[in-house]
Amino acid sequence: MSRLAETLANIPLATLSIMIVCCVVYMYQFFVDPPMHHYTMCPRLVIYMSEYYRFITSSLFHGSIMHIGMNMMSTMAIGSSLEKRIGSLAMATTILWGIQLTSSIYTFISWLLYITIGYEHLMNQHSVGFSGVIFQLAVLEANLSPDRTRSVFGFVNVSSKMYPWALLVILQFIMPQISFLGHLSGILIGTMQSHGSLN
């Protein structure tokens, strides 16, 4: 058995399935080259044009080969660990709800900032990728982990529960072009879920 086949065989079903879906979607992007702005998350288009399909497409589409590569490696690591603890059915449900809820809270926060302080940038911003759901899964996995602390890129140790928050801040410094609100939305949904608020 090749190393790749062995690696894939060790990935639990729900995690492997969403990885396959994202990779198939990226192959569609690569060969067909559809206009990305039709599939991204854009709160203004969701709210005022009722383009609710963006809740789903924005999580499954990716901006580049490096983007999907990093996201799928993270999904494999975090998703596999979490799924082995909660089971494939619970994992599949968590992912499906996560896609909807992270997009919903992203849209809500963008709208709230717009109507309260007139901050319009997030309403018009286009974002894409599975990382919001990955942050949701990271929160759940960290809360279930027996490890009390984790290393953040080998620089500093933080408590397991603070690990997703540390990643949020550090990744934003390293790659300022990534969607801070998308990642924050995932953390908020994961936090609510881990505290039973979404049961």
Active site residues per annotation? 131, 183
Distance of CA 135 to CAs 100, 115, 140, 162, 177, Å? Answer: 14, 27, 9, 12, 17
Interstrand relation of 149-152 and 156-159 (parallel, antiparallel or unpaired): antiparallel
171/63 Cα distance (integer angstroms): 17
Nearest to 75 by CA among 21, 33, 15: 15
Distance of CA 20 to CAs 3, 52, 72, 167, 177, Å? Answer: 18, 23, 9, 25, 26
What is the three-class DSSP state of 51?
coil
What is the three-class DSSP state of 199?
coil
What is the largest distance, in Å, between two alpha-carbon atoms of the chain?
A: 58
